[in-house]
Amino acid sequence: MSVCLRLTLAILFLILTISIVFAQDGKTVPVSIAQLATAEKTVGDDKKTETVEIKDPLLNLLIKKGLINETEGKSITGGNSAAEQRDRLANLLLAKGLITTTEFDAIRVLPPSTVSTAVKSNPTDLPNTTVSSNPNPPQTTAVPVIPAIAPIRVLQLEGTKRDGLIPDIKLGSGAKIKLYGFFKTSAVWDSSNPSGTDFPLPGFLADSGPNGSPEFHLKARAFRFGANFEWLDVAPKTTLTGKFELDFEGDFTRTVNRNISSIRSSQPSIRLAWVRLDRNFDDRKSGFVLFGQDWTPFGSSTVPNTIETTAFHLAYGNIYERAPQVRAGINFLLSKKRNLRFQPEFALVLPMFGNTPSDTGNQLGFGERQGADSNRPELQGRFVLQFQLDKAAGVAPAQLIASWTYGMRRAIVTRANVPAAFLAAFPNGAEVESNRYGYTAEFQLPTRWFTLIGKFYNGADLRAYFGGQLFSTYNDTAGLTGTVTATSIDGSSTVMFGLLNGQPVVAAQNAVRGYGGFINLGIPLSRIFNADPKGRMAGWTAYLHYGLDGAYARDARRLGAVRGRGDVVFASLQYKLNSFITFAYEQSLFRTRAVNNSGALPLFRGIPSRETHNIRSEFATIFNF
């Protein structure tokens, strides 16, 4: 249905437009769309009002599909000429966000110089826009341009436009639904993949075979499906939207009829599920509150453009997460000239730490516990400054971002698991707490020639965000004697008991500190080489990337870990055949380095080694819908 809507709109763009003023006595008089609901005829000094009947089948089709309402259709029919009607429709579609400014310039009848810049900078200012009353304006045609590379932005900045969703499905209740998704088929070769997964993991998790355990994978489970929702609230400045998204990159089924073929039978799992309420306070301030599972404010704002999205370069410099949360923020439009905006956001997030409980039944039934056992939410926030760095056509705004998080975990030992020698001191069991913190500095700088994005992060206990080499906590046994271990209530960690100056104590658990980041350069090859925007050569882009993730060596040694840091470098070439199909090839090198440069080194290919390496080649075909 979305294809049909696009074809319908394309035809309408070439046939009709909308004007937002009446010409009276050679003057331009601004009027709003609501004021155009009824056309007026002037006879002498008297005005007689007559009801406008919509006869144009194209306008009736737009109304039937819910793209415009009947009042707006009447405002278009009220034009004095076909040219005015065409201009009115163009302005209306621009105000609704159904066409871009470039498309508006290309299809309208009136020349660009006669239209207020308010239309281009902010379509919501439409009622205050005036246009020329020249009955025979010259025809103009905007030159199409290949867009620059836009950063991937999983978190929304600007407020949601009311009635801006073009639906594929419209329910009787008035709710509108827009479906989207993609599925990807990848052929992957790894020179070393001891874990046997179809995505890269850190090295030194286990020794490999004598040749490094090379593997070939052909996978099709990277299928993503989602739906955007909108419900029209009675308040004109309030917008209610939602999103639901799932993929098939979860676990594999283990049932009788699937045991043999389980490798091709992945199960669906929820990625996103939220409802968002936006409110426009005035033309420069808006606010929102979001309830549900979304990308976290900490670490998720900037992500690299890469073919491999499974695990998304975990432990190689890209931290991110999706989690249940309540998030709120305010957007300030500081200047319209360069779209200068500032938005602070704050969130209460489910505290999760990526534990792997030994009791699988508990993990499946209840999930991990130590974050929830802290009895408090995780606090997160981010601050975003947006501005138009390059004002060339087709270039997205730049963003500078800072984010932070603070959370707590608590490991509980029940009385039954307290070592006998310490039961008298801890007759009811024992508890030990540790803190997580983190912060990021991120930048996204799109220009007409290249797009440069990057992120730096630092913190402690970043396992749940796929950083710090996936390490969590260690027991600080300094000064303790007579130590004995016990298992936490969820079976995911070991708690240490000992004597400090002869007194029984529980050893403190300290978070392993980590650091890292990445830099990603996108090059719009087709735009640089002036390819025809409407030709087959318009879809070429290239990417260069370097990412690094590490744990503080002192903390890693205290934990008894063998790996210290990992990095990745890759280059990829992508070709977008059309709006539905993209072909991509990516060549990468993943390395993991030991925490010690000498001494008892971990094994790789059966040999004590300072580092592992994996040369990875991936070719993908991506279908969007």
Residue pLDDT, tens place only, 59-114: 777 776 667 777 777 777 765 567 677 777 777 776 666 676 656 666 655 444 33
pTM for this entry: 0.78
Name which of 58-67, 281-290, 319-328, 608-617 the model is least confident about.
58-67
Length of the chain: 625
- Distance, in Å, from the CA atom of 109 to the CA atom of 87, rounded to the nearest integer, reads 6
CA distance 2 to 28: 38
pLDDT at residue 275, as a whole number: 97
Q: Is the pLDDT of residue 171 over 50?
A: yes
Q: Name the DSSP letter for residue 266.
A: B
Q: Of 27-31, 191-195, 589-593, where does mean pLDDT reach its minimum?
A: 27-31
**Residue in the structure block whose two tokens are 């606090």:** 379
* Nearest 10 degrees: Cα torsion 499, 501, 507, 508: 170
Give the mean pLDDT of 520-525: 98
pLDDT band for 244, please (50, 70, 90 cuts): very high
Task: Determine contact, residues 248/221, Cβ cutoff 8 Å.
Answer: yes
CA–CA separation, 466 and 230 (whole Å):
33
How far is residue 37's CA from residue 74's CA, in Å, rounded to a whole number? Answer: 6
Reported confidence tier of residue 478, pLDDT bands at 50, 70, 90: very high
Q: Angle at the Cα of 130 (from 127 to 131), degrees rounded to 5?
A: 130
Cα 310 from Cα 26, distance rounded (Å): 63
DSSP H or E run through 513 = strand 513-523
The pLDDT of residue 553: 95
- Per-residue model confidence as pLDDT tens digits over 598-608: 778 999 999 99
Cα–Cα distance, 323 to 297 (Å, whole number): 10
- Tell me the three state secondary structure of residue 506: strand
First to last CA, the chain: 11
On the question of pLDDT at 257 being above 90, the answer is no
Confidence of residue 362 (pLDDT cuts 50, 70, 90): low
Phi and psi of 110, rounded to 5°? -75, 145
The mean pLDDT of 586-600, rounded to a whole number, is: 91
- Res 476 pLDDT > 80: yes
Mean pLDDT of the chain: 84
- pLDDT tier for residue 189 given thresholds of 50, 70 and 90: very high
- Cβ atoms of 283 and 557 closer than 8 Å: no
The position carrying tokens 């007409």 is 448
The pLDDT of residue 108 is 57
In the chain, what percentage of residues exceed pLDDT 70?
Answer: 81
Provide mean pLDDT across the span 189-208: 94
For residue 278, give both structure tokens.
Answer: 């936006």
Distance of alpha carbon 525 from alpha carbon 487, whole angstroms: 56
pLDDT tens-digit series, residues 534-577:
999 999 999 999 999 999 999 999 999 999 999 999 999 999 99
Q: Check if the beta carbon of residue 463 is closer than 8 Å to that of residue 442.
A: no
Q: Judging by DSSP bridges, how do beta strands 215-232 and 611-624 pair with one another?
A: unpaired
Give the pLDDT score at 13. 41
Compute the C-alpha angle 593/594/600, nearest 5°. 150
CATH superfamily of the 181-624 domain: Porin (2.40.160.10)
pLDDT in tens, 265-313: 888 999 999 999 999 999 999 999 999 999 999 999 999 999 988 888 9
What is the percent of the chain where pLDDT is above 90? 64
DSSP state of 15: H
Cα(155)–Cα(148) distance, integer angstroms: 20
Q: How confident is the model at residue 259 (pLDDT cuts 50, 70, 90)?
A: confident
For residues 43-59, one letter each, b for 16 or more C-beta atoms within 10 angstroms of the residue's C-beta and e for the rest, the string is eeeeeeeeebeeeeeeb
Residues of CATH 2.40.160.10 domain(s) within the chain?
A: 181-624
Mean pLDDT over 5-19 rounds to 40
More confident residue, 100 or 396: 396
* Full 3-state SS string of 17-66: CECCEEEECCEEEECCCHHHHCEEEEECCEEEEECCCCCCHHHHHHHHCC
If one compares 73 and 586, the residue with the highest pLDDT of the two is: 586
* pLDDT tens per residue, range 130-141: 333 344 444 445
Residue 129 predicted with pLDDT over 90: no
The two structure tokens encoding residue 574: 């992508």
Q: What is the mean pLDDT of residues 225-248?
A: 94
pLDDT top residue among 55 and 593? 593
